[in-house]
Structure 1
Amino acid sequence: MAPSGEALTRLLAEVGWQPEQFARRLNECAGRHGRTERLHLKTPYKWRKGDVPRAPWPSLTSALLSEVLQRTVGIDELGWPSDGFEAVPASAGLDLPWSSGGALRAGEVVNEPEGMTHRRMFLTLLGSALTSPAHEWLIAQPPQNIASTAGRPVSGDVVDHLDAVTASLRRMDDHLGSGQTLGLVRKHLSTVVEVLRERSYTDSVGRRLHGTAGELLRLAGWLSFDDGHHTQAQRFWIAGLYQANAAGDRGLGANILGFMSCQAKDLGQLRQAVTLAETARASYPATSPKVETILDLRAAEAYANNRSVTDTRRALDNAFDRFTDSRPEHGDPDWSYWINEAQAHAQAGYCFVKLEDWPRARDHLRAALRLQSNEYTREGALRNALLATTYVQQEHPELDKALALGDQAVQTLTGQVTSTRCIKHVRNLVGALAPYRRTPTVRRFCQDARDLIAS
């Protein structure tokens, strides 16, 4: 056995993985870092015998094993030559001044064409690196004056038109999903960044433009996260925080932190998820009941994943109380349109699923499905998959109800919208049904879901 094979064999034994498990984790790692390449499950057997993997697998192997073992595992330790990739954190290129110029540069950096960064391996931020951008944004001072004298002037009417396109893209995502919307968001972001760079504007118009760019970066991060590209999402969101600071918009920044918290829990960074959610709540000046509701629900999700029952219920109670708050002095931002009673019940249902409180989860998810206006959306698919799971996991499973809901989720995700995040919940449902695989209807559903899950 060649030295490289010996090193890999030793490291796999250290983490307790068989080659097939290793291949699956590598494929997940590739997707998380924005790579499209995928590995055959048997290929690591060849590496153990001494074959040298092609790029980008040496860098991905180094990144994955370093993450799992909590120490640096270099390519040289594996006995492999460099594959030409430069492994850098997701925050690379985003250590910028908290100024209008820094915000503009952040928007340019993260929206560069793929070819510009093809040989760089961006690594997902974990641990304290995940919360560091939030703390920097929290203490940053908004720039005093961001007026520009370059080029032809831009009026507030132009920003109105740009914001109308942004609003349309947000709603397009609801019905088409992440895979078909991100390209359009990036093109629109390029337009806004170009206006910021090449046109002249007053301070107030400039802040509005940065706010528009920040919301597009928030949306681009969400679409990337929903599609399973965690590193790309982090880059968009960090750049969005720069825009929020330049715009002087604490609500936008807090909303971005809420999405970062949502991602952190999916990455298994549960303490960091709570930190991000609470930073979002603490930083927001409480001028919109809808925004407060969103931030309370993000906190509830973080606490539910942390199995903190009391904190989860307190955050949910706060969120539902907001619906009776009709203070007239401040309006709600357009990006908060999606939060309504149906969505609040859906997120509460998710929280109780995580707490394994199946009756409460079912009550909230049923309410969400009853209140929603269109079941053939990503959120409808997610609610059906979660509700189906409660029927499987309860003390006396009701498989027929679970399968009917599961069929609806699969149908929506196959023919209506794309969402890697929602497919993960269908995969969880299939796993929960594993003890009942001998039942013909269960076997049929698992077969129907197989192609969706494989995608």
Structure 2
Amino acid sequence: MADSTFQPRTPLAQLMALVGWNGDRLARGLNAFAQAQGRPERLHPKTPYKWVRGETPRSPWRALTAALLSDALQRPVTTAELGWPEDDLQCVSAITGLQVPWTTSGTLRGLRTVTDAGPMDRRLFLMLLGAAATSPAHEWLIARQVGDTGRASGAPVPLEVADRLDQIAGHLRRMDDQLGGGQLLTLVHQHLRYVTGLLDERRYSDTVGRRLHATAAELLRLAGFICFDSGLHARAQRYWVTALHAAHTAGDRALGANILGFWSCQAKDIGQIREAITLAETARTGYPGASPKVSAILELRKAEAYANDHAATDTRRAIDTAFDTLTGAPASTGHPDWAYWMDEAHAHAQAGYCYLRLGDHSRARAHLRSGLRLQGAGYSREGALRRVLLATSYVQQEHPNLDAGLAQAHQALDTLTGEVDSARCLGHLSHLVDHLTPHRRSPEVREFIDRARPLMSPAR
């Protein structure tokens, strides 16, 4: 409801009245918006009342306010319309510069746009939400196959070079498994830029061209995941849109479907549940299903999306299909190298997450414990996440078992403090602390919360 303490005199006040916001509501919305866009700034709840009375906000709040109101009103709102000077920060859609045709030349245009901008691009990219987020998936699903991807001029690129580039991509994937964090993004981006240079300037056959495009797609997928794991959601989408184009040019449906699976994971994490389901279902529809590992990955993405919609029957069906597929006959063609991480341990962990979302704490614990028991070395981030979820299952149940929950929580905190950098994991840790807060009279609970809060503060 609009605040009755002021009259809609300024343009900002008029638009706030139109959407039914008062100053506190605008401040909350701006803080949540800034956090979702990966910005560190935060606003005092009473500051917008100064703007309503005619004071001009400092950067980046002018641009962020215009963007937030644009989203609320479903039409463009500029800083000029609000009576403010142009902001130092430029807000643009995450798909800016990437609306290219599903052709080899279109993919190269997208690759140049992403690699030339660099990971430190200072523009503020706004997330694709609703139909805008699922539109690239539908385009990928129906796009016509690409013809010859070869290039006739420049020094040749031997097939062996493509093999080595894939090996480097594999090493980068495993580094992310062990360490997480946005620092790896610069290294991935440099490798992507090198692959883009080969595609843009060298001579290669159709076979090598498709290999190079597949490598670029996987690097883009990994860069997007690093951004997602670091809370940079719009940048993740930029990488993933371009990755879909590269995977399509490579003729690799499994890779394209996997990219959509990660995008679905992001959507459910930011509360876009309908979009998460659409992306997961589109991924499954677009993949013919030759590899059991890939099929299991996609089924579990569906399960996670449905679990967040509290659709128990659809969730269980997808989980059961994933386990049946994973334990079935191996693919005659083998599995893509990027699917290495999908094994029984990961399947149990994702199933545990799904049952936790459904409120089936006993079944969630059984799966999460199996995931921890079966996991191998080199998955510190996933191990920490599983322990946080396991701790949450103890705390959320009807009669909380605080001792068991805190034992798992402290082990997770040890890993997150000393080994792994992951905003996504810290988000789950923050939810665990919220569930523990009603029990803060317990000295053990207070000890854990005091230990966890310094780690969570950047993510809050």
| Correspondence for 2:192 | 189
TM-score (norm 1): 0.93
TM-score (norm 2): 0.92
TM superposition shift of 1:327: 3.5
1:193 aligned partner, one-letter code? T
| Correspondence for 1:235 | 238
Tell me if structure 1 keeps the 8 A contact 2:291–2:331: no
| Correspondence for 2:112 | 108
1:190 aligned partner, one-letter code? R
| Correspondence for 1:400 | 403
Match of 2:303 among 296, 300, 304: 300
1:349 aligned partner, one-letter code? G
Cα deviation, 1:340-379, whole Å, max 9, x if unaligned, reads 1111011001111111111111111111111112487111
Tell me if structure 2 keeps the 8 A contact 1:349–1:361: yes
TM superposition shift of 1:214: 0.2
What is the distance in 2 between the residues matched to 1:114 and 1:37? 22
What is the distance in 2 between the residues matched to 1:42 and 1:416? 39
Tell me if structure 1 keeps the 8 A contact 2:111–2:196: yes
Counterparts in 2 of 1:347 and 1:454: CA distance versus 1, 3 Å: same
What is the distance in 1 between the residues matched to 2:337 and 2:375? 19
C-alpha root-mean-square deviation of aligned residues, in Å?
2.3
2:36 is aligned with 1:32: yes
| Correspondence for 1:225 | 228
Tell me if structure 2 keeps the 8 A contact 1:66–1:72: yes
Cα deviation, 1:246-276, whole Å, max 9, x if unaligned, reads 1000000000111111111122211111111
TM superposition shift of 1:315: 0.2
Counterparts in 2 of 1:155 and 1:228: CA distance versus 1, 3 Å: same
TM superposition shift of 1:400: 1.1
Specify the SS of the correspondent of 1:278. Answer: helix
| Correspondence for 2:102 | 98
Stretch moving more, 261-270 or 427-436: 261-270
Counterparts in 2 of 1:110 and 1:238: CA distance versus 1, 3 Å: same
| Correspondence for 2:3 | none
Cα deviation, 1:50-76, whole Å, max 9, x if unaligned, reads 431122211112222333455555435
Counterparts in 2 of 1:340 and 1:50: CA distance versus 1, 3 Å: same
2:18 is aligned with 1:7: no
| Correspondence for 2:87 | 83
Counterparts in 2 of 1:25 and 1:401: CA distance versus 1, 3 Å: farther
Tell me if structure 2 keeps the 8 A contact 1:8–1:78: no
Stretch moving more, 38-47 or 306-315: 38-47
Match of 1:61 among 60, 65, 90: 65
Counterparts in 2 of 1:93 and 1:55: CA distance versus 1, 3 Å: same
Tell me if structure 2 keeps the 8 A contact 1:24–1:41: yes
2:355 aligned partner, one-letter code? F
Match of 1:272 among 258, 272, 275: 275
What is the distance in 2 between the residues matched to 1:22 and 1:410? 34
Matches within 5 A, 1:431-450: 431-450=434-453
Tell me if structure 1 keeps the 8 A contact 2:182–2:230: yes
Specify the SS of the correspondent of 1:93. Answer: coil
TM superposition shift of 1:142: 2.4
What is the distance in 2 between the residues matched to 1:2 and 1:398? 52
Counterparts in 2 of 1:261 and 1:58: CA distance versus 1, 3 Å: same
Stretch moving more, 215-224 or 144-153: 144-153
| Correspondence for 2:370 | 367
Match of 1:318 among 318, 321, 336: 321
| Correspondence for 1:333 | 336
2:401 is aligned with 1:412: no
TM superposition shift of 1:115: 9.2
What is the distance in 2 between the residues matched to 1:418 and 1:41? 30
TM superposition shift of 1:143: 1.6
What is the distance in 1 between the residues matched to 2:415 and 2:80? 46
Tell me if structure 1 keeps the 8 A contact 2:62–2:87: yes
TM superposition shift of 1:169: 0.3
2:30 aligned partner, one-letter code? L
2:65 aligned partner, one-letter code? T
Tell me if structure 1 keeps the 8 A contact 2:177–2:379: no
| Correspondence for 2:382 | 379
Instruction: Count matched residues.
Output: 453
What is the distance in 2 between the residues matched to 1:41 and 1:236? 34
Cα deviation, 1:202-222, whole Å, max 9, x if unaligned, reads 000000000000000000011
Matches within 5 A, 1:272-291: 272-291=275-294
TM superposition shift of 1:29: 2.0
What is the distance in 1 between the residues matched to 2:18 and 2:452? 33
Counterparts in 2 of 1:376 and 1:287: CA distance versus 1, 3 Å: closer
What is the distance in 2 between the residues matched to 1:38 and 1:221? 25
Stretch moving more, 69-78 or 400-409: 69-78
Tell me if structure 1 keeps the 8 A contact 2:19–2:72: no
